A and B are shown apart, each in its own frame.
Chain A
Amino acid sequence: MRQFLTVLKFELGNYFKNKSFLLTTIVLMVLAVGIIAVPGLIFGSRGKTEKSAEQAVEMSEEQAGQWEEVPQDKGEQEKYALYDVNGSIPDLSAFASAMGQNAEWLMCGNENEVEEIVNSGEAEAGFIVEDLLHYTYVVEDRSTYDTLQDTFSQAAAMTYRTKVLEEKGLDPSEIEALYQTQPESETRILGKDSAGSYAYTYMLIMVLYFLLIFYGQMIATSVTSEKSNRAIEILVTSLDSNSLIFGKVLAGAIAGLIQCVLILGSAVGAYQIFQDGWGGLLDNVFDIPVPVWAAFAVFGMMGYLLYAFCFGMLGALVSKTEDISKASAPVIMLYIISFFIAIFGLNDSNGILVRVASFIPFTSSNGMLIRVAMGSVEMWEVIVSGALLAAFCVGAGILAAKIFRFGTLMYGNPIKFTTALKKIREK
């Protein structure tokens, strides 16, 4: 036990004194806090040019109020070139208002003039309007997030409807109000709200994925590098292989957990402080129920340990660090399968695929997490799956220690996993 603790302490020290580990942790913590603390940078960067009418509609009244607090006539005014071929737009300021924009129209006499103004950068974009139902949108470079054309189309359609309704002697505002009428409803969810839990379940699966890929490789590298620098010659004669492999794997698990807690904790803490700025938009990500945390802690950590032991034993089978990626490919592939099952399972949390995956130890870390977070699961299922995963974890640990003991002093070409198993059985 004392030797195990000495190894654990030494290996943890290796992580915490590793500059890239510290730098990654600090950068990710700062990034998490930064992203949450400065929501304006994310949403404000698109500017009002590309803020869609849809977004404007979706905004809550409070948010809308916040937008309105920004005086529209101060600096934010965008310029658009307009060639109204047949004079179809009766009131330009009303049209701009329908677009939800504080626009300045640069009136043009022909199509070439529109293109020249847009080309010179004087106007953000231009419109050549045949009539309210036919127009050409002119833009220099079109961004992926450009929604101005949609906004213009909606404003043109609204103006057209108003015009036709007025011609027929009807009150357009009444008709518009009629269309805007929404039934009042409330939701009573008897099971789980998948829509609400999707975001945090997805986030937890991604956290587990990165944790495993990153630390799995580090554990394998740690084992192999001791073979390649021959430190293992001293180590295996100084302590038993169980203490060595368990110390290494658990150090990786603890380091990963601490890094995870620091980064997620920074994000959650920052969200608590800057929650108002988000208007509850990220509640779905950070408002994680206790049972989901518990499932993540138990299944996530056990799944992580299971794979970590696999990485440890693969590390013992090769002698050069450059052989690790090839040797660990089957384990990574296994986890990627588990990951994709999880990603598909997010949309069908009670499907047969996720149900089966939640009982297979190599996939249950993700499978059971999804079922607990988003689907229906009985307590006995959680217990059986947890017991299976725990048994596999212990088995993988014992096997890893045996393979580690067998493989550590075998230098040269990589040893096949099946050969190692055969040799262990022979003993």
Chain B
Amino acid sequence: MKLEVRDLRKSFGEKEVLHGISFSIESGKALGLLGRNGAGKTTTIRILMDVFHANSGTITVDGRPFHPKQFRIGYLPEERGLYPKKGVEEQLMYLAQLRGSSRADAKQQTMRWLKRLGVEEYAQRKLETLSKGNQQKVQLAQTLVCDPDLVILDEPFSGLDPVNSQILKDVIQEQIEAGKLVIFSSHQMSYVEEFCEDIVLINRGEIVLSGALSQIKKTYGKNRLIIGMGESCQDPGQALTDYMGELIRVVGRRKEQVIVELKADCTRELLLRELLERELVPEEFGNYEPSLTEIFVEKAGDQS
């Protein structure tokens, strides 16, 4: 199954908040939907789920128009919400039935997920009596209780301790391996890097970066090297600029290391030779692979 979003545009009143969002995702893969607060991620998700109507653009599944009601969608919103005064099992069954499960199926799936997430002992308890972490697990259970075709997770790891985070990671990985379409929105880039093969970075309502994460990292690392000069060099960035300014440009730092970009006609070998000739012996010298956080800050930061 392939879900394709093409040129989505959405305005609230006079203000256009989405300026042509396009991306695609296939079964068995997770897509990282990234962006700063207010970038347009939630609006995109709500259009996907038919809560908002787009002013223009198309959403298709395997080439046919996408009608959310024809699919089971599991949604974990960033604004967590369930019924605090209702029993855990009762409300999970209710939500599963609203999304098309029969009563028997809803009951079975509810108990299955509560057990899988280690909270089956709270099935009859009111939600408000559970700890924040356990409430978070119940939230995840409500997302998956209808056996969804499309799983949308908005900040799923917030409020979870490391043990519960590991359980959640395993569950998400299972969903991906089970061939589900997973859209994963988070500001915790390490998790996105862990699960997502593809990312879409939205900034101020438009896509500023999209594609396979590995390819993006490779592209961003192209012509860039990371150089560590050791503790003897007080200011490695300044030293490299002073001595190698004609060959390289310092573009950033990562702790004690300096990230440099090779200028035209400069190669790794030439740079290394020049450094050694000037007795600037690097302790570390290698290809630079940017983290997703660095890419995110560069593309969606205030200076972008």
Contacts and interface: CB of A to CB of B under 8 A. Distances in A.
Nearest to A13: B90
Interface stretch (A93-101, A174-182, A206-214, A227-235): A227-235
A284 interface: no
A224 to B, nearest CB: 13
B19 interface: no
B51 interface: yes
Interface residues of B, number: 20
A46 B98 CA distance: 59
Given A409-B51, A426-B13, A233 B77 contact: yes
Interface in B25-81: 46, 49, 51, 53, 73, 75, 77, 79-81
B81 to A, nearest CB: 2
Contacts of B13: 426
Task: Give the most central of A6, A235, A427: most B CB within 10 Å.
Answer: A6
Contacts of B53: 427
B81 A230 contact: yes
Contacts of A297: none
A7 B97 CA distance: 9
B98 A7 contact: yes
A7 B94 CA distance: 8
- Size category of the A interface is 10 to 19
B81 A6 contact: no
Contact of A232 (B81, B95, B142): B81
A229 B83 CA distance: 7
B159 interface: no
Contacts of A231: 81-83
B252 interface: no
Contact of B98 (A3, A232, A427): A3
A353 B220 CA distance: 79
Contact of A238 (B82, B83, B84, B95): B95
Contact of A6 (B83, B84, B94): B94
Contacts of B142: 234
A323 to B, nearest CB: 18
Interface of B: 13, 46, 49, 51, 53, 73, 75, 77, 79-84, 94-95, 97-99, 142
14 contacts: A230-B77, A230-B80, A231-B81, A231-B83, A232-B81, A233-B81, A234-B81, A234-B95, A236-B51, A237-B49, A238-B99, A239-B99, A409-B46, A426-B13
